[in-house]
Amino acid sequence: MYTKKPEWLRRRIQGSHVSSEVNHILEELSLNTVCKEANCPNKMECFNRSTATFMILGNVCTRNCTFCNVTKGEPQTVDKEEPRKVAMAVSKLKLKHAVITSVTRDDLQDGGAEHFAEVVREIQKLPQKVTVEVLIPDFNGDEAALDKVIAAKPDIINHNVETVPELYDRVRPMAIYERSLELLKNVKEKSSGILTKSGIMLGLGESEESVVKVMQELRAVGCDIITIGQYLAPSSKHHPVVEYVHPDIFEKYKEIGIALGFKNVVSAPLVRSSYHADEVLSGE
């Protein structure tokens, strides 16, 4: 069992006027970000780039994934003004690319799909051109709910498989790997113009063979973009880090992903699902 982080995972924490301004805007509008709730290691870097991943539908999740730092428990009342507030924040931050995610809301009839769609529509009303990426839950496999999000026409629909299927019972006990693949497949079948994206974490105890198989299966359902990053346990109560994967292995997976035909592969230890997400559409 590895207990000490290697040098390639060490990151200097830096604040700035820009990051303070981002925090101020988010607090002023009472908005949550996955940057904060999931304790992302890239938070300061993203804030300094005037980017943030907005987390809608509260900050309490109804699922019990063992890798995630987001609070579990009784979900909060949905803020009907949240779509407008998110659009205001996007405007104030002068974003060119907005990423919207949420906690999983199994308590809601459509899993919060209509709320996602409304956020997308509000951002699309802004005078400046903003591309929109949504990182959605599985909506319990409800295609009608997924259709609501597709109808709003975000530029990217992201849904993470998170890990290899062999580890789901320990890492994502309330999720189903095949259901996640089906969601990504349905997006492509219903709207080929929307890019699809997924992500996987390494270091949970997966084998290289299993990772490559997941990549192959994602491509088989038409997934366009994949992110691959190192799992970092938020606390001793979460699933332990089994291995700190060397950067060379991440580079190897990147080469495999490109060979498989992904339009974009972002693979490195500190990569997270929305890390530098704006660069995918800008071509940087």
Q: What is the mean pLDDT of the chain?
A: 86
What's the CA angle centered on 104, arms 257 and 239, to 5 degrees? 65
- pLDDT tens track for 153-185: 999 999 999 999 999 998 898 899 999 999 999
CA 237 vs. chain centroid, Å, equals: 22
Q: pTM for the whole thing?
A: 0.88
- pLDDT tens track for 229-264: 999 887 778 888 999 999 999 999 999 999 999 999
Number of helical (H) and strand (E) elements in the chain, helices listed first:
11, 10
Give pLDDT, residue 127.
96
- pLDDT tens track for 44-60: 555 555 566 898 998 88
For tokens 């400046």, what's the residue? 128
86: nearest Cα among 48, 117, 47, 62: 117
Domain boundaries, the chain: 7-197
Does residue 36 surpass a pLDDT of 60?
A: no
**Tokens encoding 21:** 């301004």
Name the fold adopted by 7-197.
TIM Barrel (3.20.20)
